Structure 1
């Protein structure tokens, strides 16, 4: 459904107001299948070339989607591919709207999620074990030297294996990006891992963060910003009791899960901005939610839908504002911020999609259909 919304946003909210040269890459599942996913790689490289990209939500196929679309294979997440190429950090921040109160009563300030966007299970190697056998990790130094072999498990029967990795370079880039963001926003920085169990893997993340924060301690002191390391389970408990107002740095999987939890806590995944920032300052903006497949099936039947387009609109405005900053065109930045303000004002005046109408205070008397909401925003520009 997001592909339908994307077209509406572009045609009704963007192109009538901006003379913009868009470099377009079709990341629809059929096109990715046709090109053996080369189009995703090309899109990521284009972001590296031009500095800014905006991405529509895409399908990561499961077995059912492979059958439905007749795909060659179960392609990997395009987000994972793009993140690996850009080696960036994903920052997700809730969009605060007065009449959409947070589900967690204590949350009064935004909770920003900084998600490490490289490695771990998203760049893993895995397979199903058919029967008894030994699984080992083997490290062979490139320059020669003794191999290291570690036993993973002696299988007595069928099972499953996964191998994950990360790099010091990527982890340091992640830590530095989070530090820079926290200092820029003047919010405390939290980082959580499970080093009591994963003493080497998670412990490595902990140590890199401690080292990078140590180097920036004077800047932390000057900005009045604090750094906290917590066990990930304690971090979750502390966040739920807090008023918000921090950048919560998470390892890849934790960030994937917790960003959805925070988004729902603040109202909806449809009210969450998401930006991938690479170490060399390349930006990729996207909505924090998926493709809303259920609504698409209804749309295909000719039934009306009420699909939240706010996060997709903010993906566009984020990219446009960043482009304006790079090009030193303040009118472009102003347009992006004006569009954001109109979206928020529209909802605060009682025009919203069904998901928001159900949680608004006071409760909305009716909800807008997908295109109706975008049309109201367009009239407000």
Structure 2
């Protein structure tokens, strides 16, 4: 058969450890036999990031802005142990954080629903998509240990030198304090990304903060979302038959647990971090979770929501067999290929992405899966396959 042609490249960001091994297997068995794959390749493996002083990460994000679609393998965010293990020049920042900052993006994560991997919450029938604001709050916080009696203030110094002060607390003894911030521009980008993605996927949007307690900080999020919705999206949502509503974060949690799913739950940075893991675990596995970073300018970066599977990689280096779940990484590729096909008017490429996803789901539903899923499936007598056997089983169905 003739391979499917691509007119515009996808930005390909290679990664680390076991997911890097899976990355090549997926290309060899599931993509290259069928697609004349056109990618602009960037090696985001930790060694090459160190060699380029992390410039390769910046270059890959800039390339995503140029070509609009990227696919990313999981990468290591180094800690002190990794600095020593890889003899790094310094403790480089999270590549995901760097890319998010450059693209000004919002992360959308949703579980991959498969028969036989039932969610812990019995009434969840459809995926719940977490939209996580990827800037600021506690992740950009400044912290201080307070040694004893004294007062802590917030101080804003304007360009003209004038000051505005707000008392945080008058300490009578030792304690701790934290200051955090966000930017109106970033919140506006977050809102637009959520509303655009909702129109793209025809899903309702829920947004939740704690504005009853945080009457300036969280209330600003609420107001910006509402203003942008009313100004630019209300009519479009009506036309699409979808809705937007705001509620308190505690009310949202209660509603989510009683719902059937099938909507976008927009969360501030920390809330999204925590709730995406809750959603993925309750639906079955972090390895069965799609993740896409969407910018307000329409740039898309698809990735797996999980890490580099370090433990399996060390087993692989010893020549031992691994059974590593590659589903989220496969769906990162299919998401990017489908979006490339949509943007280029390449129906054949988009259809291939659909078929690869269906082949993956059919393989699991036929009882062939990696060990992590075999331990939790309700399918009787599943066959636990190793990493490469699972990918080959998908290739057979594809």
TM over 0.5: yes
Q: Answer yes or no: is the 8 Å Cα contact 1:275–1:285 preserved in 2.
A: yes
1:179 aligns with 2:195: yes
CA distance in 2 between counterparts of 1:67 and 1:151 reads 42
1:47 aligns with 2:30: no
Q: Answer yes or no: is the 8 Å Cα contact 1:358–1:364 preserved in 2.
A: no
1:260 aligns with 2:307: no
1:14 aligns with 2:31: yes
1:234 positional shift: 2.0
Partner SS, residue 42 of structure 2: coil
Residues 183 and 47 of structure 1: CA distance in aligned 2, closer, same or farther (over 3 Å): closer
1:68 aligns to what? 85
1:4 aligns with 2:14: no
1:223 positional shift: 3.5
Alignment match of 2:206 (pick from 190, 193, 199): 190
Alignment match of 2:240 (pick from 218, 223, 238): 223
Partner SS, residue 339 of structure 1: helix
Question: Which digits, 9 at most, give the CA deviation of each residue in 1:256-295, with x for residues without a partner?
Answer: 2211211122121111111111111111000011111122
Residues 298 and 162 of structure 1: CA distance in aligned 2, closer, same or farther (over 3 Å): farther
TM-score by length of 1: 0.92
Residues 270 and 128 of structure 1: CA distance in aligned 2, closer, same or farther (over 3 Å): same
1:165 positional shift: 2.1
1:339 aligns to what? 356
Residues 330 and 294 of structure 1: CA distance in aligned 2, closer, same or farther (over 3 Å): same
Which is richer in strand? Answer: 2
TM-score by length of 2: 0.88
Q: Answer yes or no: is the 8 Å Cα contact 1:84–1:119 preserved in 2.
A: no
Alignment match of 2:156 (pick from 131, 136, 139): 139
* Unaligned runs of at least 5 residues, structure 1: none
Q: Answer yes or no: is the 8 Å Cα contact 1:352–1:368 preserved in 2.
A: yes
CA distance in 1 between counterparts of 2:104 and 2:396 reads 39
Q: Answer yes or no: is the 8 Å Cα contact 2:191–2:225 preserved in 1.
A: yes
- Number of aligned residues: 379
Partner SS, residue 307 of structure 1: coil
Partner SS, residue 293 of structure 2: strand
